Structure 1
Amino acid sequence: MIDMNEEQVIYFVRHGQSEANKHGIIQGHAEFPLSKLGQMQAKLAADWFVETKLNEIFSSDLSRARFTAEAIGHRQNNGRLHVHSEPLVREVGLGPLEGMTREQMADQFPEMKSEALLTSGIDGTETIEAITLRCEKLTEKLTDLPSGNIAVVSHGGFISIYLMYLIIGSGWHKANRPFVIGNTGITKVVFTNGTPKIHYTNNQQHLQTEGDLTSSTVVY
């Protein structure tokens, strides 16, 4: 009997440590390059994927994700697997908070002591409605792809939100987000006929192969 199931295996990968991560700076859409540690993490993530034949790689259009994605692509199909830029998976826009440390943010925006960073509602930050629309469009795009293995290189905040969206839909912002996503943490989601199953989150085993190269995680 022929199995007619359509299955997309999606590996969500957070980018390697950036200079902003290293120094405790809020990024959002702001551009920061990978640190030296981040570049090593990207290489190790690429090594991990060698045993997995990827059909496609999509990346946030922010350079810290793009560098990580290109490191992965370089180890696939003799270095010929093209990285597709995908703005749908860029980090949540944080407007006036971008470029600040947490301490600076607390001084200038005292209300942030009790508000979640990604859903504060501060003027100039990305709205819940806009983030939800991105999640909807991303799901449509992923489930329309042919069956296969797909890597999506994104950001800790967006990945944690997208996982909540897969679980409870457009009400994702009303619930606690329990996911912690470290630099180059790998999360596996399988869509079968459009229905998602989360197999694991934040796998960082690849960062243990040359000593412990994990870096601090940011709780969003």
Structure 2
Amino acid sequence: MTEILLIRHGETAWNAIRRLQGHLDIPLNAEGLRQAAALARAIAGEEIDAVFASDLMRARQTAQAIAAPRGMTVQLDRGLRERCYGAFEGMLYADIGKRYPDAYAAWKARDIDARFPAGVHVAETMREFSHRTVSTILRIAGSGRHRKIAIVCHGGVLECAYRAALEMDFDQARDFDIFNASINRFESDGGRLHLLHWGDVAHLESLDVGALDELVK
């Protein structure tokens, strides 16, 4: 079995104002950099064999905070990207329903096969997104080369992994939180995911800005 530390990236400026990112490439803000540094410090004593990440900047930066002190290279995989939301991307959540009322209603109804209007990118359905992300995690974990890995990805990817591990359908409302820079522990033999622990953010509860300044430079 491979143990997986499945980690959501740190905060971005768009997270802070609830602007939908999707495949748009937004960097961490100052708070996100501090979160990434605190995360790296929290797991510094764990033996991690490899660090993987989505190729989007917010995940890469978070993963680099983990990999750099270990002298490791972050292995990027586009299969770990957030869901593509098409025309929704770049919009404030509060404005999506006003601009696209029918598509927004389908989103809120958790229609797994709804495809939103195209924008800069062509949107994915939730079914396509879940298949892409879960199969990517299983492929990485099933390589047989690592005992413990860190995978830095996105909130939507974490939701898909959680539901896959608990065999929870998407028509069930999400009743679990997904935190920036959270540590979520799974294990897998490449066949399926098993959830060990969810939503560890203890390392963020007392962020000491001064103590972390050197780590985020």
Superposition TM-score, scaled by structure 2 size: 0.84
Q: Cα distance, 1:195 vs. partner? A: 4.9
1:29-59 superposed Cα distances (whole Å, 9 cap, x missing partner): 0111111101100000010110111100000
- Give, in whole Å, the separation in 2 of the partners of 1:175 and 1:91: 20
What is the number of equivalent residue pairs in this alignment?
A: 201
- Give, in whole Å, the separation in 1 of the partners of 2:187 and 2:55: 24
Q: Give the conservation status (yes or no) of the 8 Å contact 1:118–1:157.
A: no
- Give, in whole Å, the separation in 1 of the partners of 2:66 and 2:58: 13
Query: Per the alignment, do residues 200 and 90 of structure 1 end up closer, same or farther by CA in structure 2, a change over 3 Å counting?
Result: same
1:64-94 superposed Cα distances (whole Å, 9 cap, x missing partner): 0000000111222xxx111000111110001
Please give the residue correspondences for 1:5-154 in structure 2 after superposition, counting only pairs within 5 Å: 7-76=1-70, 80-111=71-102, 112-113=104-105, 115-116=107-108, 119=112, 120-124=114-118, 125-134=123-132, 135-154=134-153
Q: Give the conservation status (yes or no) of the 8 Å contact 2:141–2:190.
A: no
Q: Give the conservation status (yes or no) of the 8 Å contact 2:138–2:193.
A: no
Query: Per the alignment, do residues 54 and 32 of structure 1 end up closer, same or farther by CA in structure 2, a change over 3 Å counting?
Result: same
Structure 1 equivalent of residue 181 of structure 2: 184
- Give, in whole Å, the separation in 1 of the partners of 2:4 and 2:111: 24
Q: Which runs of 5+ in 2 are unaligned?
A: 210-217
Out of 21-30 and 115-124, give the one that drifted further: 115-124
- Give, in whole Å, the separation in 1 of the partners of 2:18 and 2:190: 41
1:106-163 superposed Cα distances (whole Å, 9 cap, x missing partner): 1101232563379542233212342233122431331223241100000011111122
Counterpart amino acid of residue 145 in structure 1: G
Structure 1 equivalent of residue 197 of structure 2: 200
- Give, in whole Å, the separation in 1 of the partners of 2:25 and 2:62: 14
SS in 1 for 2:79: helix
Query: Per the alignment, do residues 47 and 137 of structure 1 end up closer, same or farther by CA in structure 2, a change over 3 Å counting?
Result: closer
CA RMSD of aligned residues (A): 2.2
Q: Which runs of 5+ in 1 are unaligned?
A: 1-6, 213-220
Superposition TM-score, scaled by structure 1 size: 0.83
